[in-house]
A and B are shown apart, each in its own frame.
Chain A
């Protein structure tokens, strides 16, 4: 009760301050239930406190449960999801009251909602109704606002204005300018619980993607800031978790990761941990599905695919129904015992304990866990070669458990993972850890939650279908042989089962592959050599054969040599499209139209929280530059933080590190550009050069602003279009490698880079500097958006990039708010000069070469 009181009290203070503002829940209500603005206005007059009091006092439908909840708020995590419902319940209560009071004005949907309420399914019913589609609702609000006669609206506003001393804040909040960035900022900076609660509710009105970007900030605030902020955020989080399984996963992972800096004892009881548990316990599965599930569970996926291999449902999926599958001993043709069960479940802590209801997130978590476990095992092996072999074999085993209800969170669409082409996986270069790159075949689906897991197709699909069809049924032979022992028609597997398809393949493929070669002549006669006397002999010149050989080798694209010490170089050099085509050809799922190839780097033993922070900053800068129309190019790559020491990275495709380029090609960067893109004046070279300049300028700014260190050539990629891409943001802001004091320059700019840009006096170099200036001016304009991201993440964080007290101050200073544009230009010139001359860059490269063999 006390909590409840406190809450309403706080609200009252807020509303008192900004006048008879909207109740948090009320914002969507009016339009949603078709109320005219007038009704809404009348409704508002009731005041939140009164409404609140009503609902608590009301012994009817929702009231009793509500009071229980009110007591438990903040104490019992189990009840927490109810808080979200509460908001809606209250609103509905009011709607009901209103309905009773002025039935003529009440819109049609209201009674329906009320009826739902009476049915007892209060929470679920209204949950779906009022929160299902916040963006939609939000847009409707706007539409209605605009559509509504100005008179009513302005009257309402006037009313507010009159009753409030300072409504500016509210006006800001209601204005179109109020975006998610501001919302986050106010949420973070405001000490007013009312404001926080308001913004917590406003979150529902933003587009999902907008809020998703700030998810790390939201969750970090949830974990590390005071209770009011947490309470304000939680309903939104819970709501989104109910909607999306991917969101649930990301939340759970981030909550775990950002809680890890807390002391272990506080961590256990922290809000973050509780919410994480709640998400993982699967209490937040979509409400309407909860009811259907019991009837579904006996055969979740088995009966849905018409293929003959329906019983081959994915192992990961099967684990959750262990009790079922163990009864399902074997089928007629195939004994199907879930043999890998123990394997799977023993590695998961909670699966067995809570295996009775199917856990939504379990297959995905299992998938991630296996990937991380592979990385951990790889780390124990001494050589790259062994790691690679082990990786390939481990992944081939993982394949047995696929397809599964698993997905790659770094992808932008809903899908199921169906196969990991294990031979394509490579171990990346790292001294003591074992990050690795895998390609993942997925099948796109419309909705992950409702789509069925695709049926498994065996590795060598064609053969198995063939042999299954061609072989006689055993049932017939039983009868035949029981009577007599006389010889039954012979089943000659040698001729039938073996020879057919491969030979056909052989002949079919010949003409298309070998068109330019004379060896298709061999098709014309399949006779033995002796028959040659009778026919015209065919002559070929030995010189032609050799010439073809050298020509064909010359035509193969510039691939990298295979290097056992650097297995990733070859894999990364191969053009992505080429790779997709190749893998698709070799995949049993490749023929499906929804087939897609994704790739992901699995890192374990590395903390990717800084990487995530860098990603956010890069993304923010990217959008700022886009908004300000500065043609700077940067490539933020997606990060999935799995825990404080593991994660996944979306690899940059078609890009190899400059180190790899130099080691493989033994050329200078400029010569490599010439080799790859053609001569100086070709369009392709010029485009590549422009790309290089734009990306270089972008990353120089990034490096300066974020103080990105450890910039050796292994951490700078060059893509097929000439862009450079910086990777590895392990040392940013206040941290630098081993604090040796290397890399004192603002960013890395070597003479080689300048050479590619056309030298110090070239136009492109001036363009580069100009881009930097424009970029810095643009970034400065939106400094708050950038700083805010970093600042919020500093809360409760032990990350090395926040070491010391002046991280944020220094960051702000680097935007040089006080400088004129001329001064900024000078600054850029200085930085470029300094970096060019910087002896430390050279020193650092030399140091890297000596210690890590990086060129």
Chain B
């Protein structure tokens, strides 16, 4: 609101400095704001109105100035204006259409601004009038639909999308925006898909279309049947789904690129200025500066696509359809120049498709890789609320992916090897890895790396419990798939094991602080059960027998942590306290780990004593382990390979509500009609007239 006023102010300075010099259109607006019918004295009033250049600021300002009751007085005129706008959409002359579209935006926004608290029905009444609402809105949606699908001007289409976005985001809570019922009934889903399926229109409007779709899907998601959800879930046209994937990839990779640029900028700056000693002090500082505004809207779109549409999963692993285009010159050159529009981050339009398929390392990329990189950046810093949300959403998306059979199939596909450069947080105790010689591995390795990275880097006071739980769940789901399908992944499991053990260590050392806020036992239980998976089912998915030995080695080496954990949960489960139940679950889960420790430790000690060695080498320990398996009996635990499937409605509804609210506000803030300058449109249409 402040923004529009400011802009209005600017404009007033130039054009409306003195009252007598009012534009004609302003005079006409004033007439509308009278109680009388403006067409009474001028029968051609409406026709003339849409020939005038719209003064959005004035119209919006005027509407905002009125409160509900005043507005009710001129309701008829407003209704009339609304109706005539819709009528004008069908006009042949594009200037009228443009003006009508802009007027509609102003109307919708203006009426909402003042009446935020008013119920949606009243707003519909004020704008359209109850009696005509259904027909009017039907006409409006049909006109928009045909404008979007027609082979017309690109800027016109863009304006249509803006109007829709404006309509969708006028309220903070999308589900309270009752007017959207008409958008539900008169679906524009097909139009959105069409935009996404054709390369040209996708390039121009893909971002807006995807954001619009993501928002529409979230309208009264949990309370009623949203046809957009239904329709999105059954789309199986590959061109469309790919188009959608491409738009998302573009936005995410653009973010990655920006982040990388900033990071490099900082690094080079610091290297010249600082000695390595002081450097570490500034890293945290630098990090915050690096942060680029995350793009929740696009992430939400990705989530909805992955969650709702099973065919979309195939898109994740697919490279970009634009790729074929770049070598062959695109014959139809866009008629209109690319106009950087309000909602679209200007950058995503700027990057040419030719750069896309190869990332910085000259590697072929796909949506999943881009997403993993994006996640690695976003999850680095979870302090800021937006990033926390984004990070959470990333993990949710990964959860959905980890549950999907087809996704798992290509994640684990031995023939699809990629080198995924994840961003790693610079930390005091480790150097920033030179990842240039990363091996080329199946994609699941990158997912696991990302999870390990998260586990290692987020043991802090503000413990992101929720994210940790999701992270462990993802690992668990991947392991379940590997166990089920007997996939023997050549992954350095040791890194995961030590990360998990360190996590347990952290939980215990911060027991008092953490227990005040979280139930750390669920997390501990999950971690312990991951180990149980490896211990009892390792034969089904570990790559080599020696990796099984290594598992034992790692457990024995870090036995102190398990011992401590055991004594802690034992203590709490014997007390009749709040944590009795969850803690006792952990004690039971620890049975095999304790058996291993109790079995091998004495053997190792005696080996050391017999051979007079004070400190056993790794090989020696492994040897002891290997020779003493047979005397160890393990208890088979149930349900290790079972997991609860992700369910949005029951657990995440609040999160998504909040997320959609923040996205709505953000989109509305960025929606700028003024950027779509009238001059440009005039120029474009001058040839037609």
Min CB distance, A414 to chain B, in Å?
A: 27
Which residues on the B side are within 8 Å of A346 (C-beta)?
A: 328-331
Q: Are A481 and B636 in contact, with the CB atoms below 8 A?
A: no
Q: Are B149 and A477 in contact, with the CB atoms below 8 A?
A: no
Tell me which of B99-107, B318-326, B383-391 binds A. Answer: B318-326
Known: A342-B332, A509-B484. A540 touches B636 (CB 8 A): yes
Q: Are B321 and A397 in contact, with the CB atoms below 8 A?
A: yes
Min CB distance, B574 to chain A, in Å?
A: 16
Q: Give A424 to B415 CA distance when docked, in angstroms.
A: 6
A627 interface hit (Cβ, 8 Å):
no
A530 interface hit (Cβ, 8 Å):
yes
Q: Are B224 and A488 in contact, with the CB atoms below 8 A?
A: yes
Which residues on the B side are within 8 Å of A460 (C-beta)?
A: 310-311, 313-314, 406
0 or 1 for each of A525-569: is its CB under 8 Å from B? (1 = yes): 111111110000111111101101110110000000010100000
Q: Are A334 and B629 in contact, with the CB atoms below 8 A?
A: no
Chain B residue at minimal CB-CB distance from A548: B539
Chain A residue at minimal CB-CB distance from B134: A482
A474 interface hit (Cβ, 8 Å):
yes
Chain B residue at minimal CB-CB distance from A390: B364
Q: Are B240 and A526 in contact, with the CB atoms below 8 A?
A: no
Which residues on the B side are within 8 Å of A172 (C-beta)?
A: none
Residue from the list A490, A510, A527 in contact with B639, Cβ < 8 A: A527
Q: Are B486 and A513 in contact, with the CB atoms below 8 A?
A: yes
Min CB distance, A499 to chain B, in Å?
A: 5
Q: Are A491 and B645 in contact, with the CB atoms below 8 A?
A: no
B193 interface hit (Cβ, 8 Å):
yes
A657 interface hit (Cβ, 8 Å):
no
Which residues on the B side are within 8 Å of A342 (C-beta)?
A: 199, 325, 330-332
Q: Are A529 and B637 in contact, with the CB atoms below 8 A?
A: yes
Q: Give A498 to B588 CA distance when docked, in angstroms.
A: 32
Residue from the list B230, B363, B635, B637 in contact with A491, Cβ < 8 A: B230
Q: Are B319 and A393 in contact, with the CB atoms below 8 A?
A: yes
A497 interface hit (Cβ, 8 Å):
yes
Which residues on the B side are within 8 Å of A382 (C-beta)?
A: 362
Q: Give A339 to B321 CA distance when docked, in angstroms.
A: 10
Residue from the list B236, B403, B535, B650 in contact with A468, Cβ < 8 A: B236
Q: Are B486 and A482 in contact, with the CB atoms below 8 A?
A: no
Residue from the list A329, A334, A505, A528 in contact with B235, Cβ < 8 A: A334
Tally of contact residues, A, Cβ under 8 A: 103
B545 interface hit (Cβ, 8 Å):
yes
B23 interface hit (Cβ, 8 Å):
no
Q: Give A233 to B484 CA distance when docked, in angstroms.
A: 63
A519 interface hit (Cβ, 8 Å):
yes
Q: Are B314 and A459 in contact, with the CB atoms below 8 A?
A: yes
Which residues on the A side are within 8 Å of B240 (C-beta)?
A: 334-335
Instruction: Give the interface centre of A389, A537, A539 by most chain B CB atoms within 10 Å.
Output: A389
Residue from the list B404, B409, B486 in contact with A586, Cβ < 8 A: B409
Chain B residue at minimal CB-CB distance from A469: B234
Q: Are A502 and B405 in contact, with the CB atoms below 8 A?
A: yes
Chain A residue at minimal CB-CB distance from B194: A335
Min CB distance, B317 to chain A, in Å?
A: 8
Tell me which of B87-95, B180-188, B606-614 binds A. Answer: B180-188
In residues 470-495 of chain A, which contact B (Cβ within 8 Å)?
471-472, 474, 477-478, 480-482, 485, 487-495
Which residues on the A side are within 8 Å of B190 (C-beta)?
A: 330, 332, 335
A160 interface hit (Cβ, 8 Å):
no
Tally of contact residues, B, Cβ under 8 A: 111
A599 interface hit (Cβ, 8 Å):
no
Q: Are A478 and B185 in contact, with the CB atoms below 8 A?
A: yes
B357 interface hit (Cβ, 8 Å):
yes
Min CB distance, B537 to chain A, in Å?
A: 6
Chain B residue at minimal CB-CB distance from A311: B237
B238 interface hit (Cβ, 8 Å):
yes
B366 interface hit (Cβ, 8 Å):
yes
B440 interface hit (Cβ, 8 Å):
yes
Known: A335-B194, A386-B362. A474 touches B227 (CB 8 A): yes
Known: A342-B331, A458-B238, A549-B539. A389 touches B310 (CB 8 A): no
Q: Are A485 and B178 in contact, with the CB atoms below 8 A?
A: yes
Q: Determine chain A's interface SS by DSSP, over half rule.
A: helix
Q: Give A518 to B637 CA distance when docked, in angstroms.
A: 12
Instruction: Give the top 10 A-B pairs by smallest Cβ distance, nearest first.
Output: A393-B319, A543-B629, A543-B630, A463-B310, A549-B539, A335-B194, A389-B364, A538-B636, A542-B632, A548-B539
Which residues on the A side are within 8 Å of B440 (C-beta)?
A: 385, 564
Q: Are A463 and B638 in contact, with the CB atoms below 8 A?
A: no
Q: Are B588 and A393 in contact, with the CB atoms below 8 A?
A: no
0 or 1 for each of B430-470: is its CB under 8 Å from A? (1 = yes): 00000000001000000000000000000000000000000
Chain B residue at minimal CB-CB distance from A334: B237
A151 interface hit (Cβ, 8 Å):
no
Q: Are B637 and A389 in contact, with the CB atoms below 8 A?
A: no
B413 interface hit (Cβ, 8 Å):
yes
Q: Give A468 to B235 CA distance when docked, in angstroms.
A: 9
Chain A residue at minimal CB-CB distance from B121: A485
B239 interface hit (Cβ, 8 Å):
yes
Instruction: Give the interface centre of B187, B585, B632 by most chain A CB atoms within 10 Å.
Output: B632
Q: Give A491 to B194 CA distance when docked, in angstroms.
A: 26
Q: Give A393 to B235 CA distance when docked, in angstroms.
A: 22
Tell me which of B6-14, B416-424, B665-673 binds A. Answer: B416-424
Q: Give A538 to B584 CA distance when docked, in angstroms.
A: 20
0 or 1 for each of B176-209: is its CB under 8 Å from A? (1 = yes): 0010010011010011011001110000000000
Min CB distance, A559 to chain B, in Å?
A: 10
Q: Are A339 and B236 in contact, with the CB atoms below 8 A?
A: no
Which residues on the A side are within 8 Å of B642 (C-beta)?
A: 522, 526
Residue from the list A480, A491, A514, A525 in contact with B638, Cβ < 8 A: A525
Q: Are B194 and A330 in contact, with the CB atoms below 8 A?
A: yes
Which residues on the A side are within 8 Å of B178 (C-beta)?
A: 485
Q: Give A289 to B194 CA distance when docked, in angstroms.
A: 36
Known: A339-B243, A468-B234. A400 touches B321 (CB 8 A): yes
Question: 9 A–B contact pairs at CB < 8 A?
Answer: A390-B364, A481-B185, A490-B225, A509-B484, A522-B639, A525-B638, A525-B639, A549-B542, A553-B544
A343 interface hit (Cβ, 8 Å):
yes
Instruction: Give the interface centre of A337, A489, A490, A543 by most chain B CB atoms within 10 Å.
Output: A337
Q: Are A481 and B225 in contact, with the CB atoms below 8 A?
A: yes
Min CB distance, A179 to chain B, in Å?
A: 47
Instruction: Give the interface centre of A396, A480, A510 by most chain B CB atoms within 10 Å.
Output: A396
Residue from the list B323, B640, B650 in contact with A394, Cβ < 8 A: B323
Known: A463-B311, A522-B636. A330 touches B149 (CB 8 A): yes
Chain B residue at minimal CB-CB distance from A309: B236
Q: Are B327 and A373 in contact, with the CB atoms below 8 A?
A: yes
Which residues on the A side are within 8 Å of B187 (C-beta)?
A: 474
In residues 236-286 of chain B, which contact A (Cβ within 8 Å)?
236-240, 242-243
Q: Are A546 and B331 in contact, with the CB atoms below 8 A?
A: no
A517 interface hit (Cβ, 8 Å):
yes
0 or 1 for each of B480-496: is its CB under 8 Å from A? (1 = yes): 00011010100000000
Min CB distance, A351 to chain B, in Å?
A: 12
B641 interface hit (Cβ, 8 Å):
yes
Q: Are B364 and A546 in contact, with the CB atoms below 8 A?
A: no
B662 interface hit (Cβ, 8 Å):
no
Which residues on the A side are within 8 Å of B321 (C-beta)?
A: 339-340, 343, 397, 400
Q: Give A502 to B402 CA distance when docked, in angstroms.
A: 12
A388 interface hit (Cβ, 8 Å):
yes
Instruction: Give the interface centre of A312, A388, A531, A545 by most chain B CB atoms within 10 Å.
Output: A545
Q: Are B224 and A400 in contact, with the CB atoms below 8 A?
A: no
0 or 1 for each of B569-595: is its CB under 8 Å from A? (1 = yes): 000000000000000110011000000
Residue from the list A393, A482, A518 in contact with B323, Cβ < 8 A: A393
Which residues on the B side are within 8 Å of A396 (C-beta)?
A: 317-319
Instruction: Give the interface centre of B181, B321, B584, B640 by most chain A CB atoms within 10 Å.
Output: B321
Q: Are B641 and A467 in contact, with the CB atoms below 8 A?
A: no
Q: Are B363 and A386 in contact, with the CB atoms below 8 A?
A: yes
Q: Give A370 to B327 CA distance when docked, in angstroms.
A: 11
In residues 410-467 of chain A, which contact B (Cβ within 8 Å)?
423-424, 426, 458-460, 463-464, 466-467
